[in-house]
Amino acid sequence: RTVMITGASSGIGKSAAIEIGQAGGTILLVARRKDQLDEVAHQIEGLGGTAHVHTCDLSDPDDIDRMCGEVLDQYETVDVLVNNAGKSIRRSVDRAYDRFHDYQRTMQLNYFAAVKLILNLLPRMREHKSGHIVNISTIGLQMNTPRFSAYVASKAALDAFSRSIGPEVIDDGVHITTVYMPLVRTPMIAPTKMYDRFPTITP
């Protein structure tokens, strides 16, 4: 199967890409930094897998259109889309009164980018009567985590979008899964120093 993984240059995305590559999937590695993606591709190929690098600025809808167009031209369809790329901000609301842009930036990457990818790739999945969309989310949605209002809200939006379209696409063989990850030791949580003392799982 052809599997697109966003945020594939590190953390959960990188680990998932390596595992799926070893299992025989054709991995489409998506992130901004080509040098880091090349390293992951080389690692997958060294383990006998197949990986292709597709750089994309997921904060730019036009760049998502470009990348998806290239992918569909080359591979016909994407069997599995893993929406893993994400941005997290830890800030209490009383420190965010003048930082509306934090909410906009987080929503752009965590919600709008994922929706844009889905809207680009879903028609081909439905034509092929097969597809799977996997959204990497957070256990914070189930815990009302303080100080993460921008992050949790953006993940909640993607969750609601996916649950809403799920019944529309199931008859075409397209499935949607949301993974509510617990705390994982990745570069995304590094700025939150209190997490240095928290129990975490590895990617």
Catalytic residue of the set 97, 103, 151, 195: 151
| 151 is an active site residue | yes
Rounded to whole angstroms, the Cα distance separating 203 from 181 reads 10
Residue located via tokens 């081909």? 124
Residue located via tokens 């600025």? 57
**What sign results for the dihedral spanned by CA atoms 117, 118, 123, 124?**
positive
Give the pairing of strands 174-181 and 50-55: unpaired
Q: Which residues are catalytic?
A: 151
